[in-house]
Structure 1
């Protein structure tokens, strides 16, 4: 178990693995792909049980109206939240030792950009794109609303 501080100063405990995979989703504050303001995780065990975890992040930069309207996170929401280096330190080991699933390639690109911004090591786990899987599983959805 890894303990981290949430934005209210309370300990939030990451579940302990191993896990079959971890689904990862990030939100950004602006059109700068490395401006991560939230990371959401879903830990999926070998038995299919799931545990979720979410952490707000101070992106140390401005929020754009478009992004805030999209996900509802603003500069006010992240007051007191940790910065990316702090959150990265608490998540690195668990993310780096499990297969990661993202929807599109945005999340991996955002994590790479944020790591580069702060000079931190990138997550080197295997990343799977769930959009590619959905396209193979449900080809009939192409052009009929897509695979979002």
Structure 2
């Protein structure tokens, strides 16, 4: 059985050392079997840019749990499979900084993968075919008007 813990965090400011939201999906054998989402009170000010980007503000998180209050609830999920994130370096660093700032001990090593890196590796596999396609388009014959003919999609 394969079990993936897909997660994403939002941050309140440019320091990226606290969360303002976290979303988690638990996937077993390709099926979503659990979902979790919570706003997080970062106990830090919000930057205008981050608020515009995420739609999350100090008012939005008022009354939300802080990271330590949330950790007891999400730790069992985060410990139950391979962590997966899009741009995992960002999400893992935010998680690490939150754990360190609040002096929460977790694991010395955590297995994770990054969908950005997976996508780049997959794209590189198909790059030669794409380059051949672009080269062939450059060599299309010219039309009588002197303009290059556009390929027709069928």
Runs of at least 5 residues in structure 1 that lack an aligned partner in the other structure? 1-17, 142-148
**Partner residue in 2 for 1:136:** 121
Task: Name the structure where strand makes up a greater proportion of residues.
Answer: 1
In 1, the alpha carbon distance for the partners of 2:36 and 2:77 equals 12
**3-state SS of 1:138 partner:** helix
Task: Name the structure where helix makes up a greater proportion of residues.
Answer: 2
**3-state SS of 1:76 partner:** helix
**Partner residue in 1 for 2:47:** 64
Q: Trace 1:20-59 onto structure 2 (pairs within 5 A).
A: 20-46=3-29, 48-50=30-32, 51-59=34-42
Give the superposition deviation at 1:122: 3.6
**3-state SS of 1:137 partner:** helix
The size of the alignment, in residue pairs, is 123
Runs of at least 5 residues in structure 2 that lack an aligned partner in the other structure? 128-154
1:120 matched to 2:101: no
1:95 matched to 2:78: yes
TM-score, normalization by structure 2:
0.74
In 1, the alpha carbon distance for the partners of 2:119 and 2:2 equals 22
In 2, the alpha carbon distance for the partners of 1:121 and 1:138 equals 38
The answer as to whether partners of 1:38 and 1:54 remain within 8 angstroms in 2 is yes
CA root-mean-square deviation: 1.7
